Amino acid sequence: MAGPFEGPFQGSIEREAILARIAAHPIEGGPEARRRAFAELVLGDHAPGTPYDSISIAGEGGTIVYLHGGGYAFGSPRSHERIGAALAEATGLGVVLPVYPLAPEHPWPVQLEAAVATVEEADGPVVLAGDSAGGHLALVTALELGRRGVDVAGVILFSPNTDRSGLSSTRARNEASDPMVDDEGDTELARQCFGDLPLDDLEVSPLLADLGSLPPLLLEVGRDEVLLDDSLLLAEAARAAGVPVTLHVEPEGLHMMQLWAPWWDVAAASLERAATFASEVTGARRRA
């Protein structure tokens, strides 16, 4: 298996190189075609699609449980291993990137059940993290654990899906500026996972839930993303519920921008902020 920092780029890159790669690797077709296309986009043109195993990176002082994005339909621990490896290297904490069942073969809530089980088995303190649909899963998992009285030290969300009830204005306004997400495609993926659950169901749209049990929260999102409001509205609601919130809106950011570290300085800076946050909430000594 290739190392975590191998991939489609060599050396530092600019935003335009990522845009060109995204344009050349559309995520389309049936479930297996989408999984292979996403793997090739992120890992290289000869990457296998599925299956992948969970990835555990040893550390001490606590655990970051990282839940990969991909619309609940694609992505894997391997596609997001670079993110996990960077966080482990910067913090010294253990990092677990679990496999969870994908839709449409496995509808909700098996993803939530798998995430809760992973946290319950992790060495604490635990930081929950995830991007896009993985950010949604991290948020819903944190809320479920709060209802169960299970402590989580912090939550890191990279461009999460948080609301499908219609409150967002950027799902329409930013479609032309977001090369990774359009509302129609995002809605299709959600339907595959959530089926006939109402759009205002608290697990489909956790923005509407009681957020008061959440631990400190870090949100990172790009200014021109379709899901920008999903982060802005969550930050506002969480603060109103008394949750400590750190929000960074990146002017140059792209959806799932963290996938492009270490080559893109914008992505690397986002992971640096996440590593600092994880170290602070767990009490771990931040590595230089």
CA 227 to CA 171: how far, in whole Å?
Answer: 6
Instruction: Enter the tokens of residue 118.
Output: 């992973």
- 80 given a catalytic annotation: no
CA 33 to CA 21: how far, in whole Å?
Answer: 17
CA 244 to CA 218: how far, in whole Å?
Answer: 9
**Cβ neighbours of residue 47 under 8 Å, at least 6 residues apart?**
36, 39, 40
CA 64 to CA 129: how far, in whole Å?
Answer: 7
CA 286 to CA 202: how far, in whole Å?
Answer: 35
Cα angle 168, 139, 213 (rounded to 5 degrees) comes to 105
Exactly one of 225, 231, 250, 270 is catalytic; which is it? Answer: 225
- 270 given a catalytic annotation: no
Exactly one of 144, 231, 255, 270 is catalytic; which is it? Answer: 255
Q: Please provide residue 64's backbone torsions phi and psi, each rounded to the nearest 5 degrees.
A: -95, 120
Q: DSSP per residue over 44-110, as a string?
A: -TT---S----EEE--SS-EEEEE--STTTS--TTTTHHHHHHHHHHH--EEEE-----TTTS-TTH
- 132 given a catalytic annotation: yes
Exactly one of 76, 79, 132, 205 is catalytic; which is it? Answer: 132
Only one residue has tokens 């990279």, namely 158
Q: Say if residues 32 and 105 touch (Cβ distance below 8 Å).
A: no
- Going by their DSSP bridges, the two strands 94-97 and 55-57 should be labelled as antiparallel
CA 68 to CA 188: how far, in whole Å?
Answer: 19
Give the residue numbers marked as catalytic: 132, 225, 255
